[in-house]
Chains A and B, each alone.
Chain A
Amino acid sequence: MKAGALAVVVILGAVLIFCTHGFPPWGDPASPASRHVSPYYIEQTMRDTAVPNIVTAVLADYRGYDTMFETIVIFTAGIACIFLLRTRQKTETETRLYRHVPTGITLRIEKGGKFPKDSIDFERIDSEWVPYDLIVKTTCRLIVPFIQLFALYVIAHGHYSPGGGFQGGVILGAATLLLAVAFDLRSAKRRLSEKTAAFIGTLGVFIYAGTGIVCMLLGANYLDYSALAPLMGVDPVTARSHGILIVEIGVGIAVMAVMVILYYNISSAGRQDEGL
């Protein structure tokens, strides 16, 4: 099996390397890819949309349909993960581990026993529990606000520098994941529960699709942001720039919610009581 696969792969690789003869040399400015459609976008972006980052302008304005469906794809991935992993198992009859804080004794309470509820002396621990590590927990608690601030900066500054909605959304989600990894899953869930994350994800997709519908209600095509100009009181070119910012915010918060949902479900295999 492996020898056959290796032979197939080597032959296919040799055929493809032979076929790369016909490509234009790397970096050729006269290659067909650089001559047909892209000069229009490079020259006209500043005039049409007043956004210097050409990639963001093309992604969110000229090809806004594709980006809307890409947002829907990643939202669907989050929903699919929920459907796959959250099953109606008996989650409440698992054994739980509690630790008595003053003495350090660990209790293991089987199903049917009585759980000590919300008392100061008993804390609930995971199966793989490590002692309180001051450096890791303090550092993560200090860093997380700065990560979130940087993520907001990346979303908002996507017009002028590399960045945009998707990158900022991933970094925002990574901040919550850092909390979940440094502390435990339950303290991250207290701050951002899965229900809130699902609601925020839906809100992000609605912001994107809703902007298009607002443009259509004002008389222009779907996702034609220059129709928002009378609503904001600016000229159509600046209205396109602001429209790009609105949809980038929608993409960002949808992506953040999906990253959080993916991590909560995968790291606890659906049960959502213990994490990594």
Chain B
Amino acid sequence: MFWQIEFVIFIIVIILAVGAISVKDLLSAAILFGAYSFMMCLLWAIMGAVDVAFTEASVGAGISTVLFVAAIFRTSRRTKD
């Protein structure tokens, strides 16, 4: 597709990845990680990998985020670095 869309999504993906590992609140990290999964799914769908994008949308942005939030619920939410 248009390479301009790809470039914009590239930049967004890098910003989300850096944000997911830098925030001090684990719940925000979980949500940013879910958004990162959604953007990667979009990128793969643009490159034509529709099966892989479907799997990543259901697994990465669905199950992984829910499991992460459940694990944070049972442990602590604050982190020191």
Contact = CB atoms under 8 A, between A and B. Distances in A.
A181 B65 CA distance: 13
A174 B63 contact: yes
A149 to B, nearest CB: 15
B70 A266 contact: yes
A170 interface: yes
Q: Is the interface of B mostly helix, strand, loop or mixed?
A: helix
Interface stretch (B23-31, B32-40, B54-62): B54-62
A171 B73 contact: no
Interface residues of B, number: 16
Contacts of A268: 74
B71 interface: yes
B55 A167 contact: yes
Contacts, number: 49
Nearest to A151: B58
B63 A173 contact: yes
B54 A266 contact: no
A77 B63 CA distance: 14
A269 B58 contact: no
Given A269-B74, A276-B73, A263 B54 contact: no
Nearest to B67: A266
Contacts of B63: 170, 173-174, 177, 259, 262
Contacts of B62: 170-171, 174
B43 interface: no
Contacts of B71: 266
A236 interface: no
A78 interface: no
**What range describes how many residues of A lie at the interface?**
20 to 34
Contacts of B54: 162-163, 167
B58 A174 contact: yes
A204 interface: no
Interface in A140-183: 162-164, 166-167, 170-171, 173-174, 177, 181
Given A170-B62, A171-B58, A174-B58, A267 B50 contact: no
A26 to B, nearest CB: 9
Interface of B: 50-51, 53-55, 58-59, 62-63, 66-67, 69-71, 73-74
22 contacts: A55-B51, A56-B51, A162-B50, A163-B51, A164-B51, A166-B55, A167-B54, A170-B58, A170-B63, A171-B58, A171-B62, A173-B63, A174-B63, A177-B63, A177-B66, A262-B67, A263-B70, A266-B67, A266-B74, A267-B73, A269-B74, A276-B70
